[in-house]
Amino acid sequence: MATGLFLFQNDLRLHDNPALRLAVEEVDKLICVYCIPSARANRYPYTISIPAKARWQFLLHSLKALSDQLLLRNQQLLIALEHPLNILPELITRHNVSAIYSSEHVGTYEQRNWQTLMGRYPYIQFRAITTHTLFDRAELPFELNELPSTFSKFHKLVKDTPIEKPIGDITKMPPRPKDVAIFDVLSPLLSKKFTSEFNGGETAGLEQMANYFASSAPSNYKETRNGLDGWDYSTKFSPWLALGCLSAKSVLAALAQYQQAQCEQSGSSDWIKYELMWREYFQWYGHKYGHRLFQFRGIKDSSPNTAFYPERFRRWCEGNTPYPLVNALMNQLRQTGYMSNRGRQIAASCLTNELSLDWRYGASYFEEHLIDYDIASNWGNWQYLAGVGADPQGHRHFNIEKQTDDYDPDRTFINKWGGDKFDGGLDSVDAADWPIY
Ligand SMILES: Cc1cc2nc3c(=O)[nH]c(=O)nc-3n(C[C@H](O)[C@H](O)[C@H](O)COP(=O)(O)OP(=O)(O)OC[C@H]3O[C@@H](n4cnc5c(N)ncnc54)[C@H](O)[C@@H]3O)c2cc1C
């Protein structure tokens, strides 16, 4: 009787989950575990360890959905408000676990936890399988340490590389050992009052994908994708992709089906694949550069001329800067946990350029709030915008006035999200901490 343990991370789904499929095929009993991230150690001193409400609730609803799906398959999800290195050793010993399965993770801490467990239990089989990306490492047409330094070079190399089809749903699972104690930690944490357009979980993610491809929006994607507000200008798949409620391969398969059915001439929906390739690039970028993803000097090892001004940073977070568009964007982020791609670029550019702030504080704030927070996409994009990452131009500075004219000419977005709330004066002290009168 082999007992396995499956550690869910950013793969909260039963469709196209080859890591879970392997576990299901190889063991007689299975313990399914998820460790709540807020209980994990702080990433860095400037990182906030408890996610903001929208991100937190999206995660909890996604876990609830996974838990419900597992129950339908006579399984149960053990959700631990614990660091994995606290809970897993106890489970391994008590239940005589002989194999541990998980999805390969891009996070430095997640990888370190995995390595620590491998070191502690040399007699256990450890299987980390790729589930978060379109390719696995062996399918990439280059060695990881030869990942191109820019996206366009990467895209040239991978655009014709075949992508495996997604695998089907897992319909049957081995039972859990009877004496695994499961407590309901979710119910007291789930907020009934919290409402969002984004419902967490695999079923909701698959539904969004089906609805999006049942509409005509994909055929206008390239033209609309830079919008700031609304549901249809972009796919909105990112929160589900980030937690793995949706697989990137399933999105590509649905896109191919859409294109076949529509016989689309414009090629507009092709841009969805192009954007998923950006996601792919940042994932492998994260795998290649590891902890350098979080370093001030980035992968370019160049130092931006920025610092930390607590008051400016607070104003940026609270949507109280001299830039109404940025204020509106930050208010939208705080209230919903989501911001458009164009919005993220403008807000990030403002933080590093207009406000001369250290980009890592901005990235951390996004980490706290974004319901689609994804380590590689967030920190990789921030590095790119701060000029210490994969941008061949070296530096991006968005002209906020021009962006306002282009994307919010009649100030609908600014008015909707209360962007005109600047109370005057960016700094109340000078660089030497003297009050400014
Ligand atoms: C400063 C900054 C921080 C970001 N942080 C995150 C993050 O934490 N998580 C995250 O998923 N995306 C992040 N992005 C990328 C992008 O903004 C979001 O993926 C996108 O806005 C999500 O909305 P959507 O699903 O409607 O995107 P769509 O435009 O519909 O794109 C389809 C999919 O392609 C991927 N994608 C699109 N653009 C990018 C991009 N620039 N980089 C990586 N993947 C992309 C996403 O998975 C997205 O769901 C960030 C971008 C910036 C500039």
Which atom, in ligand 1's list, is nearest to the CA of 378?
5
Mutate to test the pocket of ligand 1, among 10, 275, 365, 375 (most ligand atoms within 8 A of CB): 275
Q: Is the pTM of this model over 0.85?
A: yes
Nearest CA to ligand 1 atom 6: 378
Span from the CA of 55 to the centroid of ligand 1 (angstroms): 15
Span from the CA of 292 to the centroid of ligand 1 (angstroms): 20
Mutate to test the pocket of ligand 1, among 237, 372, 382 (most ligand atoms within 8 A of CB): 372
Give CA–CA dist 175/65, Å, rounded.
Answer: 19
Please give the domain boundaries of the chain with CATH numbers for all domains.
3-130 (3.40.50.620), 202-292 (1.25.40.80), 310-416 (1.10.579.10)
Query: What are the binding residues for FAD?
Result: 221, 234-238, 372-374
Which atom, in ligand 1's list, is nearest to the CA of 367?
8
Contacts of 164 (CB under 8 A, 6+ apart): 139, 249
Q: What is the pLDDT along the chain (437 residues), one digit of tens a residue?
A: 899 999 999 999 999 999 999 999 999 999 999 999 654 444 444 444 568 999 999 999 999 999 999 999 999 999 999 899 999 999 999 999 999 999 999 999 999 999 999 999 999 999 999 999 999 999 999 999 999 999 999 999 999 999 999 999 999 999 999 999 888 999 999 988 888 999 999 999 999 999 999 999 999 999 999 999 999 999 999 999 999 999 999 999 999 999 999 887 779 999 999 999 999 999 999 999 999 999 999 999 999 999 999 999 999 999 999 999 999 999 999 999 999 999 999 999 999 999 999 999 999 999 999 999 999 999 999 999 999 999 888 778 999 999 999 999 999 999 999 999 898 878 887 767 777 66
Amino acid, res. 367: E
DSSP codes joined into one string, 225-246: TT-SSSSSSS---HHHHHHTSS
Three-state SS at 46: coil
Nearest CA to ligand 1 atom 4: 378
Compute the CA torsion angle 34, 197, 346, 105 (nearest 10 deg): 20
Of 333, 393, 383, 322, residue with least CA distance to 358: 383
Span from the CA of 378 to the centroid of ligand 1 (angstroms): 8
Give CA–CA dist 39/196, Å, rounded.
Answer: 24
DSSP codes joined into one string, 92-115: HHHTT--EEEEE----HHHHHHHH
What residues line ligand 1, using a CB cutoff of 6 Å? 225, 234-238, 241-242, 272, 275-276, 278-279, 282, 340-341, 344-345, 348, 366, 370, 372-374, 377-378, 381-382, 385
Q: How many CB atoms lie within 10 A of CB 71?
A: 11
Which atom, in ligand 1's list, is nearest to the CA of 282?
43
